[in-house]
Structures are given as structure tokens and as C-alpha cells.
Amino acid sequence: MSGVLEGLEPRKVFTYFEQLTQIPRCSSHEKQVSDYLVEWARARQLEVIQDQALNVVIKKPASPGYETAPTVILQGHLDMVCEKNADTVHDFSKDPLKLRVEGDYIYASGTTLGADNGIAVAMAMAILDSPELAHPPLEVVLTADEEAGMTGVQQLDPGLLKGRILINLDSEEEGVFTAGCAGGGRVEFTVPVRKTTPRYKHFYRLTVKGLKGGHSGADIDKERGNAIRILGRILNGLKERCELFQLSGGSKANAIPRESQALLAVDDPVWLAEEVARWDSTLKYELAYTDPAVRIEIEPADAVKAVYDQATQSKVVHLLNLVPGGPFQRDLEHDVVVASNNLGVLTSDDEAITLTCAPRSSIRSLLDHFLESAAAIGEILHIQVSVSSLYPGWEYATQSKIRDLCLKTYGDLYHKPGKVNVIHAGLECGFFVEKIPGLDAISFGPDMFDVHSPDEHLSIGSTQRTYILLCEILKGITKDY
């Protein structure tokens, strides 16, 4: 325990958050943190359930006077997006995060912070561990694998829960109460690899770097550069005089990729240097307002005995340029993205080149249209397309008692109106609403910035205010609520 956050208030929230940053919890690798929470709950004589998906449900009886109040589900997720800078030495499977405080903000040096959604877990733990708080019966649900496709909540048995009020703590803007979200999933394109002997004798590594990246839902409207799409454009421009033999980019489907690479052979190094300089200048101009640090670099690479044959190279270059990326439909009246796609991860080995995308839409027919378009691209290029991890959207409810209570409590506490919105990012609320008929749901959280990137940071003051708000909302859920 490093104690970097020692002295911050609320003390229990930041103490538990720092403990969580010392436990590996990348998506699909949550056993250690899940087991930790089970033992933590048992040590406090709280009822706890851990299912096969590593979801954890912790139940706490009502405080005195709240025994007849309706049960509330407090919900967040255990896992985090594990991203690091290229020059950062960090093993997410065992290394604790290195925290630092700069003014009002908490960062992790060179890596994602995991405040998405570790701060929700920490708040829930603080409430469970505070006997003085007034609250209704609580069911704290901490799900696994949210960032990799929401597979944890998909496997959660709704029969474990009695609550019909859901407070999700997976939002990232203080004073904004989310009441609806997009659905989405994963689409994977697979290009089989065939190789041939290289004709060219000069080998280089081409790298796209310096992009901001970000969350493929929350930040997709910012028009930031996508390193995989940019790589596709460059390779299309170079295709007549280069041969490819390895491609990579991004690390998570739901994170806008900040870097990408291609290994290639060319006939003329001078020509390549001139083309790279031209692309570097072009992209700096195009992305001057969103990604001014973008740059394209080349460096010599080791010679290889085999490169992709012409058909393979043509298919992958066409694929990277045909798949739509970024927002492709907006609601102009409310200034929100309706439908989008993120080219998230590009990998290659001796057998195949794989592109994994994360489409989203708050209108199911538009998501279906993207899936149909993806299938058409597969047919045209004669490559495999697979769809997985589809998750439902969460439709805005015209009437919501919990939403009304949140807005009133926020206004009473901070003397300014709260805002209600529907977001383009996916939330687990969609699954809960689908699984539990009549569920009344809301989502909120403290200010977080640049989530899913190594620049992720959390506001200390906003966390303090949001925790106070959460406690007051729970206090307000009485028998007559």
C-alpha cells in the first residue's frame, strides 16, 4: 500500500480506491480482485455471492428506520481497460499502478488509472463499511468483464436480486444523470494470410503515433484520429510500390487506437521517406485541432524471407479503407452521436490478419445495418466476418422516480440544476433493465477525463461531492419514496 492518497476525503473511498489500484484487474482477468472483495465482505459479516463469471453481489440490511424502504441495487464493474504508453515498463498481470496527485487530479504514471470503474467499487465499499450512514436495504453488484463485452452482467442471475431501483456508478461527468445509452457489440474481420518471396530489398517499420485515443463511446464525437484507419490510408497510398508482412494497432476494441504499425519492403528508400513526410504533413494539417501531436515515422527493419502475396495485401488494405469508422449518424437536435464504429484492434500472425471493431447505436436498426454492411464487405473481399458480445441499449423512460430524486437532491445540495442525458457509450444498465422487469435506473459518477488512455485522471473534489450526493440520495429512499 503506497499511501499516495492518504489524507484525501472521503477517507474510506480513497483508501479503498488505492487498494484496488494495487490489484491486477484487466478485463477477463478479475479473479484476484473478485476474490479480494469476497473475503473483504466476509470479514465484515456481510452476505456475499460470487458466481462463475466472477461477479460479486454483496448485501447489506437497511439501517434503523429504513427496514420497509425499497431495496436499492448499487452497481459498478470490477475490471479496467489496461492501456500503457509505448515506453512504459509495466506488467498489468502483476504490477501495481503507480499513482500520483497533481492538484485536484489523480493519475497513474504511464498507464490507465482504472477510475473507470474502480471509483464506483470504492464508493460502494465505503458505504458498505460505514455503519453511521442512513440507507435502505442494499444489493451491491460488481460485475466482471464489462470493458471486454459485458459478459459478466450477461451471465448474472437476476434471481439473486430483489431491488427494483438501480443506481449505476459508471458515468464520468459530475452533475450529469444518464438515463439511456447505446447498444453495440464486436465485429471481427479475418483475412487469411498467404505469403510469397519479397521482390524488394529495403525493409522498414512504419509507425503512426502521437494520437490522443480515448473511449470509443464517450470520445467518438470528438473526431479524434484513429491510428488503424490512418494506417489504412497510408498503405493504400503506398500499395503500388511496397510489400507488407506484418500489421498491428490498438489494444482494446472500445479504445480509439493511438498507435499502429506496419512492416514493409520497398524498392526505393528515398521515395518512401518522401511519401512518409508528405503523409506526416497532411495528417498534421487534417488533425491540427484534435490530434496536433500526430506523427508518422519510419525506421529500418530486419529483412524477412516472406511477405504477404498480392491478394492478401489487397484484401487487408481494402478492408482498412472500407470499414466505416467514427460517427456515421448524429442527432442534430440534441447534438449526440446516434451510431458509430471504432476500428479498435489490428493484429497479424502467420495464419491471419484480424481487425476487431466496436460498433454502437442507440437505434437498433442502424446497428443492424452496420452488421449487414460488415457482412457485405466480407462477401466482397472473401474474408470471414464474425459478430459477438451484442448488448442491448437502454431506452429513456418518460417517468422515473429515481431520476427525479437525483435531480432534486443534487439541486438541494449544490444549488444548481443537474442535467439528464442519453449517452452513446454502452452501460450495463441495458442488461439490468432487460433482465429485471419494472427496474427504475439511473447512472452518475464523478468527473473523469481521458478514460481508456494513459492520460486518464480523476477529480478529487468531484469524487468528494459525488459521494456526498450518493449518500444523500440513499438517505432519501424511504418507505414513502
Compute the distance between CA of residue 253 and CA of residue 147 in angstroms, rounded to an integer. 9
Compute the distance between CA of residue 316 and CA of residue 312 in angstroms, rounded to an integer. 6
Sign of the torsion formed by the C-alpha atoms of 390, 395, 344 and 82? negative
Locus of grid cell 440544476:
417
What SS3 class is residue 295? strand
What SS3 class is residue 431? helix
DSSP lists the bridge partners of residue 74 as 140, 167
The strand pair at 255-256 and 336-348 is best described as unpaired
User: In the chain, what is the greatest distance between 2 CA atoms, to the nearest angstrom?
Assistant: 81
Sign of the torsion formed by the C-alpha atoms of 160, 46, 1 and 100? positive
What SS3 class is residue 337? strand
Q: Which residue of the set 18, 30, 79, 219 is catalytic?
A: 79
Compute the distance between CA of residue 440 and CA of residue 240 in angstroms, rounded to an integer. 58
Locus of grid cell 462463475:
52
What SS3 class is residue 208? strand
Which whole-number Å values give the CA distances from 167 to 111, 116, 236, 362, in the listed order? 28, 16, 47, 21
Cβ contacts of 318 within 8 Å, gap of 6 or more: 381
DSSP lists the bridge partners of residue 357 as 187, 343
Cβ contacts of 202 within 8 Å, gap of 6 or more: 265, 266, 267, 268, 269, 272
What SS3 class is residue 457? strand
DSSP 339-383: EEEEEEEEEE-SSEEEEEEEEEESSHHHHHHHHHHHHHHHHHHT-
| Residue 146 designated active-site | yes
> From the CA atom positions of the chain, what is the Rg in Å?
24
Q: Which residue of the set 18, 83, 145, 146 is catalytic?
A: 146
Cβ contacts of 110 within 8 Å, gap of 6 or more: 84, 85, 87, 88, 90, 98, 454
Query: Cell triple for residue 473?
Result: 440520495
| Residue 455 designated active-site | no
Which of left, alpha, beta for 18 (phi over 0: left; psi -120 to 50: alpha)? Answer: alpha
Active site residues: 79, 146
